Chains A and B, each alone.
Chain A
Amino acid sequence: DAKTTQPTSMDCAEGRAANLPCNHSTISGNEYVYWYRQIHSQGPQYIIHGLKNNETNEMASLIITEDRKSSTLILPHATLRDTAVYYCIGTGTASKLTFGTGTRLQVTL
C-alpha cells in the first residue's frame, strides 16, 4: 500500500470550503485513493474514492494530480457536522485498508 501523508489538523469556518490535502508519492498505477472520515465515537464513514480522474459525489469532490502523487478532498460548504478525523488511504493489491493518523478537521462558527 502507498504511504500517505496528511497534516495533523486543520480548521475551517462554517460555510466555507474545506480543502484537505494528501500526499501519496509512492502510489502505484493501479492503487486507488480512498477517503474516509470518523466522527467521534463512530465507525469510519466512506466519503469518496478515485484512481486517476477527479470524482464528485453528494458528499465531496476528489481532485487527483496528473502524476497521482497527491490529492485533495474538498467539502464545498463545511458545516459543524463535518468536524471529524479524515483519512486518506492508498489501497494496494490487498483488500485491507491501511489507516494512518489522518487529519483532524475542526469546523468553527
Chain B
Amino acid sequence: GAGVSQTPSNKVTEKGKYVELRCDPISGHTALYWYRQSLGQGPEFLIYFQGTGAADDSGLPNDRFFAVRPEGSVSTLKIQRTERGDSAVYLCASSETGGQKDTQYFGPGTRLTVL
C-alpha cells in the first residue's frame, strides 16, 4: 500500500517568511510524528500526535513552530518568521497506534532552505 507522503519535496523561502509543510500518513495510522534532520545529524523529534491531539510537543524548538492534525489524518507543520537556522530536512512518520512497540514508518522528507 501507499507509504507516508510529504509535500513539497523541496521548499526554498526567504528569511522572515511563513511556510507550511504537509504530511499524509499511512491510511488508518492514528499516530503521527514530525522530526527534523540537520546536515550530518540524526533526526530529532519535534512533535507526536495521537489522533487529532498533540500528545507530546516537547521537541518543538520555540513558538514559531506549530503543527496541526485537525481530522486525525493529514498533518501540517507551520513555521512562522523563518530563520536561516530552520534550514533542514523535515521528516514525518506514522504508526498504527503509537507507543514503544509500534513501528514508525517515515516519509521521504521535505528539504527546507531558508535564504
Number of B positions contacting A (CB below 8 A):
29
How many A-B contacts at CB < 8 Å in the complex? 62
Q: Of A61-69, A76-84, A88-96, which stretch is located at the interface?
A: A88-96
Option from A34, A46, A96, A101 in Cβ contact (under 8 Å) with B56: A96
Partner of A96, one of B4, B42, B48, B106: B48
- For residue A24, CB closer than 8 A to chain B, the reply is no
Nearest CB in chain A to that of B105: its residue: A46
Minimal beta-carbon separation of B13 from chain A (angstroms): 20
Chain B residue contacts of A91, Cβ below 8 A: 100
Contacts of B44 in A (CB 8 A): 99
Query: What residues on A are CB-neighbors of B104 within 8 Å?
Result: 46, 97
Check A95–B48 contact: CB distance below 8 A: yes
Interface of A is mostly: loop
- Number of residues in A with C-beta < 8 Å to the partner? 25
Which residues of chain A have C-beta atoms less than 8 A from B99's C-beta?
A: 95
- Residues of A within 8 Å of B41, CB to CB, are 101
- A102 in contact with B107 (CB, 8 Å): no
CA distance A97 to B98 in the complex (A): 11
